[in-house]
Amino acid sequence: MSKPEPLHYDTFYHIYNRGNNGETIFRAKENYHYFLQLYTKHFHPYANTYVYSLLPNHFHFGVRIKTKEEIEAAHLDPKGFLKPLGSLPPSKSPPTPSQAFSNLCNAYAKAVNKVYGRSGSLLEQPFGRIPITSAVYFYNLIIYIHRNPQHHGLIDDFRNWPYSSFQAILADKPTRVCRTAVLDWFGGLTPFVEAHQSDPDMADLKTLRVSENP
């Protein structure tokens, strides 16, 4: 297998991964919450997050990797808070976006191995990444990711799945998901809800590659 392209700055991506051989990676609700905590610590400073869904044996994210300047403007201290990069020694410059996401996956795998007494790789390596270069592609991807739990038969109504960004976008509570941008792409809250009433055109998710940002 050829080595995948690294995550590029100022680029939209569909990032995904699954357990090795389809293994369950989220065994309890605490696992889902802990993964999102690690995501906030390791990857949130590197990306704007627009959509996500965590399922028992895989996950999906729709993100925009920030510019190098945005990332270098802030960095995480050991407690998970942002502090200026200028206050850190030169040797402590932030890792690349690809390494940051790998760090997230590795940190989660180590925690799962410790808690459940397992060993070895938990997630497939490398993680999947597809550049998003079409507004239509991203529009369909958001619907696809939100409807994924229902698509896999995990729940009768995807709107009730507790481990996705759908409810966070509907609510008015603080969230790290870029709610306003998503609703603007759909034309408002009502069109956003209506667009989710059926599965997207899967052909679009596989073939659309036009030169326009979401």
Q: Which domains does the chain have, with CATH numbers?
A: 11-207 (3.30.70.1290)
d(CA 92, CA 142) in angstroms, rounded, equals 35
Say what the pLDDT of residue 71 is.
87
Contact 74/66 with Cβ under 8 angstroms? no
- pLDDT recorded at residue 3: 83
Residue 166 or 206, more confident? 166
**What is residue 11's predicted lDDT score, i.e. its pLDDT?**
97
Q: What is the pLDDT of residue 1?
A: 57
- On average, the pLDDT of the chain sits at 87
pLDDT of 143 reads: 96
pLDDT of 211 > 50? The answer is no
What is the pLDDT at residue 73?
A: 75
Neighbours of 22 (CB within 10 A): 11
Q: What is the pLDDT of residues 81-136, one digit of tens each?
A: 555 545 545 446 778 999 999 999 999 999 999 999 999 999 999 999 999 988 88
Question: pLDDT higher for 184 or 204?
Answer: 184
Token pair 């696992």 is at which residue?
31
User: In terms of DSSP bridges, do strands 58-65 and 75-76 run parallel, antiparallel, or are they unpaired?
Assistant: unpaired
User: What's the whole-model pTM score?
Assistant: 0.88
Q: To 5 degrees, how large is the angle CA 139–CA 140–CA 144?
A: 125
CA separation for the pair 110, 204 (Å, rounded): 36
- What average pLDDT does range 170-198 have in this prediction? 94
193 in Cβ contact with 166 (< 8 Å): no
Question: In this predicted structure, what is the pLDDT of residue 83?
Answer: 59
Instruction: For the chain, state the CA radius of gyration.
Output: 17
